[in-house]
Structure formats: structure tokens, C-alpha cells
Amino acid sequence: MSEDAVAALRAGRAVILPTDTVYGLCALPEHEEVLYELKGRDRSKPVALLAADVDTLVAAVPGLDRSVLGRYLPGPYTLVVGEAGVRVPSLPPAAAEVVRAVGVVAATSANFSGGPDPRRVVDIPAEIRTACGAIVDAGELAGVPSTVIDVTGPEPRVLRQGAGALPE
């Protein structure tokens, strides 16, 4: 495990972690403001809460419907549940260990807002890389962001088509 990444997260810093789709910019939820600052992201756009497994996510976010989560997670999906997005990606082992060590992280793609999705660490803007407390490099990733699905209504609604197909 990257002890540096865990220590940086606990110190309130952002870290870069690989996911099953693109590289993510992560921080502990109580320090998510650093993600907005590094990305230049509009604060009206929430970041997702990301966990290494569904049980941890359900424990961290009261009121989640496990049966709905089970249709999509783990996998390349971000589910919109009310005002927040939640993710349980199929994480590379080193990233899974970091996330398990801290529980849940706030996460967004490791790029400037509106910029290209980073499939390699070198694709992440240098300003973001140097501002982070740690980087976990897992080589080249798929490079297609997660599919964002709003599951708050009677039928799931795709808000952004990405790496995951809508399950039947």
C-alpha cells in the first residue's frame, strides 16, 4: 500500500489514484474543497464519494438502497443519489488498499474542469500532479470516464454515457 497516499489524505491533501476508468483526484470528504481548487471546478457540481466496496459505501452514506447499488457496483458507474454521486469502481490493488485504509474519499477526474480525461499519470496536468500529496501510478488505464446514472427516479436515467453500458 502507498503509505504516502494514506498519510497525505489524512493530512487534508489531495492524491491521485487510478480507477477502473481514468485517474482520479481524491481527498477525504471533509477536505473536498481542495479538489475544486485544483481542478477549477464549479462548486455547484458535486464530486462523487468513492469506496472500495459496497458495504463501506452503505455504512458511510445512510439511506442508500443496496438493491439499486448492486445492479451497478462495483463497476464503471457513478450513481446519482439525491444531491451526491457515489462510486465503487473495480480499483487496481494499490488504489483499493489506499481507499480501504481511509474508508471513503471524495473523487473526481484528475484533470482541469472540462479537460481531457487522464488515462496515464503523464496526461494529468503538471500543476495538479505537483500540488498532490501522493500519486499511485498503475500504468495506462481505459481512459473513458464512468457512466453517470441518476437512480433517484422510478427509472434509471443516463446523464453521461461512459465506460459502462446501462444494465438491463
* Residue-level pLDDT at 1: 55
Residue 14, in any domain of the structure = yes
Residue 25, in any domain of the structure = yes
Number of domains in the chain: 1
- Is 109 buried (19+), middle (13-18) or exposed (0-12) by CB count in 10 A? buried
Copy the grid coordinates of residue 39. Answer: 481542478
Residue 118, in any domain of the structure = yes
Residue 157, in any domain of the structure = no
List the domain range (segments joined by +) for residue 58.
3-63+89-143
CA distance linking residue 133 with residue 94, whole number of Å? 16
CATH number at residue 98: 3.90.870.10
CA distance linking residue 142 with residue 145, whole number of Å? 8
- Is 4 buried (19+), middle (13-18) or exposed (0-12) by CB count in 10 A? middle
Residue 30, in any domain of the structure = yes
Residue 81, in any domain of the structure = no
* Residue-level pLDDT at 83: 84
pLDDT tens across the length of the chain (168 residues)? 589 999 999 999 999 999 999 999 999 999 999 999 999 999 999 999 999 999 999 999 988 999 999 999 999 999 999 888 999 999 999 999 999 999 999 999 999 999 999 999 999 999 999 999 999 999 999 999 999 999 999 999 999 999 998 776
